[in-house]
A and B are shown apart, each in its own frame.
Chain A
Amino acid sequence: MLIAVAACARPPQRQVRVVVSGSGRLARASGFVSQLNDYQLKNVKVVVCDAAGNGGRLARCASGGPALFVTVGGVETKTVMQAGGGTPVIYVGIAASLDWGYVKKLSRPGGRASGVDNNYAELSGKRLQLLKTALPTLDRVLVVYQPSVVPTPRGLDYLRRAARVLRVKLGYFPVEKPADIDALGGALDAGGEQAVFLMPSFVIENSFDKIVRAADDAGIPVVGLHAAQVKQGAFLAYGADGAAMGRQAARMARQVLLGYPVAEMPVERPLQTSFSLNLKVARRLGLRLEPRALDLAQEVVR
């Protein structure tokens, strides 16, 4: 009888919806899903909603009333927050959390969103420093960035301060939509740029392959944001791995699902920041790599 009562009293299944803007951020979603499933939470169903670069589809992904939204970047978080409602949001790797306005304080967000800040804006200068370490002769870099995204000003600020210290000249290539990438080849063909430096942006991340092809065509390396991009053709990256951030966010999501208030859940920084190098790209492009830089890398694609 008690067993029957317990069965009747079983709570309804709760949905955790992972909102993804495009393929460039699927690694974060897969890391999250894998880790959350490992927790074996009862009555929890994880659904990945991939908008595949479609804005309307992204809006639909952000609608409805799941128990928890998990967003894998800034644009996803922005779409979900603008959709309204009281559903808590755990984000997986947005840059400059405070600048978005969704978090009042890193140790106590105070709203319905918290998550893992990827530190990509703060690491922009460090990435340029590591690029300079690997390619000591480098003195000119083309920065591909999206002016309209929130972390861009902070990231460019860090980048410019580093460039001054490192004596590197920065060129700028702004994009707002994927079609803008088409002009990248022409900009590189104009000559003088020694590397393409990517800033955090969903348009840039989702157009990564096109950027790599344009840079390859121009014979210059691409500096990415994280190790996965190095595996996909970037020469160098320094930042938190997307899948690792997904796993980290899964732990936070588990606590929210167990009842911990998201407003009280501190924003976390990535547990690991890795330096990756792609020797195949270096060889293909004939780059003069500082050998000791290999001692600094946690991952080398040979």
Chain B
Amino acid sequence: MRFGWFSRLEGRFTLAAALSAGVPLLIVGAVAWYGLSRSYLRTAGERLDSEAARLQAQLDTRIGLIAGVLRQVLIADGGDDWALRAAGMQLPEVVQLQLRRGRKTVALWSRFEVVPHELEPVARSDVAETWGPVRPDSWGEPQLTLGLSDYRGRMLDARLRAPLLWEALVELHQPNLHAYLLDRDGRRIASSNLVEVLRGAGVPREVLQAAPGRVFRFRDVRGVEQLAVARSVDKLGGRLVVEAPVAALLAPLRTALLLLLATVLLALAASAWPGWRLARAVTRPLDELARGAGELERGELDAPLRASGPPEARSAVQAFNRMATELKRSHQELARYAAELEERVDERTEALRLALQRALEADSAKTRFLASVSHELRTPLANIKGFASTMLASDVTWRPQEAEEFLRIIEGEADRMHYLVNDLLDLAKGGRGEFAVSKQPQHPARLLRSLMERLQSVAAGRELRLKLDSNLPCLQVDAERLRSVLVNLVENAAKYSTAGQPIELSVNKAEGYLRFAVRDYGPGMRPETVDRAFQPFFRGDESTSGSGLGLAIAKEIIAAHGGDIGVISDGGGTEVWFTLPLEGVND
């Protein structure tokens, strides 16, 4: 923008400071200049008038002297021309003299000619002194014509070099003054500058019309302003003019004016500089703040702003820096909170997802559980009802052996229901944390030997290999519950492996616990089913028999003993293991 700098604070402040210092000085200077110049010109006018009066007096005296000397010629007329010659030689203005008696010329004298021509008569018998018209000579010099007469009828005609009238006067008392003599027609006939006379320089109208003795101003033909005064020269019918250029008259003031201008300039500079510095001290921090705010807005503010200027401005910048630091810290904290919140939301979302999945799975498990329970209970009930109805049929008479067989079947189905209901009760107790075990000191090897026959039975012909560490310690266990766990595990191993493959039962001692493991060499479990192995009613293969409660109850039993249970399936078979803590039992 063209005046952009002036629209800024330092521009306006600098200008205001400069003007506040310069304008009063300028006003004072202008008033002083006006007053002094008027006073100078008034005084100069008085000097001009004084000089004009002095020159007028000397000119009158000179003209009177010329007339007086020439009149002596008339008085001393002795019949020859010696007086005429002497007068002519004595007066340098005289060019030619002519002595007449009436119309008859009796003597002639010329400054240049040996035999001069007669002059045109000027003198009149009835007038003692006559100043005639001004005539130019062959050089262009104006010549005055004078005629004198006396009572005896003698007359003298004279031609005078007008410019020499000026030479007869004393020099002008002051330099720069210029004076000249005008004839009655306004032509210059004498001057302190002879060229003006010889070239017939024109005279301004103001000079010709000026009142005698009054100081006036005008512009000459060159356009230069002049201060002048005019005085009448009565005998010649003309006027004497003294003038001086106004600029020259005011020249003494010029130095003062220059000093004043220099002072104004210095004052402007001296005021503008500190004004600019002061304004800049304010605007620089503002610029810095604006820059910092912009960078802060764009997130590019890396370093604190530089504090400068007066204390108020420094305080503002420092406050900005503190605010920026605080904002930066808050921004970082907010970002961290946001990241944490996002992480927490992800965690919670995952937890909810898992909970939902579990709930869905639990719901599904419950559905399956109810279906399984219904199925497990309905099958023996159907058998019991069927055989009972068969025995009670009135149209059939059953033999005792047949009736006994039927009753045994009914008893077996009732036992099956009884065991199922007991299992369900155990599972429910375990879920409520009410699963009670009756721990008694037991030696694992002895417990396994007492159980071997049944284990061989549930192994269904598969080779059952026992691997026991030597010196196994006794355990505090509920022997009946531990047996049911082992039977269940061996039964599952036999169920999920093919005939001819062995089943290994191992007991190993570890630090603080005994590790029991049952391993088969069947196809193993799918990875996604390993984690669900201990869910109630879960069966790895739906085609197999069983309620799916065995491993779930086993987990409850082991947990009631303070141990852990798990499954390892590697594609080459499945190993189900559990641990039992060694606590306070001496072998």
- A residues within 8 Å of B by Cβ? 1-3, 106-108, 119, 122-123, 125-126, 128-129, 133, 161-162, 165-166, 251-252, 255, 260, 264-269, 271-273, 275, 292, 295-298
Question: Are B265 and A125 closer than 8 Å at their CB atoms?
Answer: no
Question: Are A123 and B258 closer than 8 Å at their CB atoms?
Answer: no
Residue in chain B with minimal CB distance to A114: B195
Question: Are B261 and A273 closer than 8 Å at their CB atoms?
Answer: no
Residue in chain A with minimal CB distance to B85: A296
Question: Are A266 and B140 closer than 8 Å at their CB atoms?
Answer: yes
Docked Cα-Cα span, A162 to B114, in Å, equals 6
Interface size of B in residues (CB-CB distance below 8 Å): 28
- B residues within 8 Å of A by Cβ? 82, 85-86, 89-90, 92, 110-115, 138-141, 163-164, 167, 193-195, 198-199, 258, 261-262, 265
Question: Are B262 and A126 closer than 8 Å at their CB atoms?
Answer: no
Docked Cα-Cα span, A251 to B178, in Å, equals 14
Q: Inside 8 A of A260's CB, which chain B residues have their CB?
A: 195
B51 to chain A, nearest CB (A): 19
Docked Cα-Cα span, A134 to B198, in Å, equals 35
Docked Cα-Cα span, A297 to B86, in Å, equals 8
Supply 26 A–B pairs (Cβ within 8 Å), ascending by A. A1-B262, A1-B265, A2-B258, A2-B261, A2-B262, A3-B258, A3-B262, A106-B138, A106-B139, A107-B139, A107-B198, A107-B199, A119-B112, A125-B114, A126-B111, A126-B112, A165-B114, A260-B195, A266-B199, A267-B139, A273-B92, A273-B111, A295-B86, A296-B86, A297-B89, A298-B89
Q: Inside 8 A of B138's CB, which chain A residues have their CB?
A: 106
Q: Inside 8 A of A297's CB, which chain B residues have their CB?
A: 89
Q: Inside 8 A of B111's CB, which chain A residues have their CB?
A: 126, 273
B309 to chain A, nearest CB (A): 31
Q: Inside 8 A of B167's CB, which chain A residues have their CB?
A: 271-272
Q: Inside 8 A of A122's CB, which chain B residues have their CB?
A: 112
Docked Cα-Cα span, A129 to B167, in Å, equals 27
Q: Known contacts being A260-B195, A266-B140, A296-B85, is A272 close to B114, with CB within 8 Å? A: no
Docked Cα-Cα span, A128 to B115, in Å, equals 12
Question: Are A272 and B92 closer than 8 Å at their CB atoms?
Answer: yes
B107 to chain A, nearest CB (A): 14
Docked Cα-Cα span, A297 to B88, in Å, equals 11
Residue in chain A with minimal CB distance to B163: A271
- Choose one: B114, B139, B262, B265; the contact of A269 (CB below 8 Å): B139
Q: Inside 8 A of A128's CB, which chain B residues have their CB?
A: 114
Docked Cα-Cα span, A260 to B113, in Å, equals 33
Question: Are B113 and A106 closer than 8 Å at their CB atoms?
Answer: no
Docked Cα-Cα span, A275 to B112, in Å, equals 12
Docked Cα-Cα span, A260 to B164, in Å, equals 22
A294 to chain B, nearest CB (A): 10
Question: Are A266 and B82 closer than 8 Å at their CB atoms?
Answer: no
Docked Cα-Cα span, A251 to B172, in Å, equals 14
Question: Are B194 and A264 closer than 8 Å at their CB atoms?
Answer: no
Question: Are B140 and A106 closer than 8 Å at their CB atoms?
Answer: yes
Residue in chain A with minimal CB distance to B88: A296
Question: Are B112 and A264 closer than 8 Å at their CB atoms?
Answer: no
Q: Inside 8 A of A275's CB, which chain B residues have their CB?
A: 89
Residue in chain B with minimal CB distance to A119: B112
A187 to chain B, nearest CB (A): 26
Q: Which of A129, A133, A255, A295: most chain B CB closer than 10 A?
A: A295
Residue in chain A with minimal CB distance to B136: A107
B245 to chain A, nearest CB (A): 13
Q: Inside 8 A of A161's CB, which chain B residues have their CB?
A: 114
B76 to chain A, nearest CB (A): 11
Question: Are A123 and B261 closer than 8 Å at their CB atoms?
Answer: no
Docked Cα-Cα span, A266 to B163, in Å, equals 14
Docked Cα-Cα span, A133 to B89, in Å, equals 13
Add 4 more A-B contacts to A125-B113, A128-B114 (CB < 8 A): A3-B262, A106-B140, A252-B195, A260-B195
Residue in chain A with minimal CB distance to B265: A1
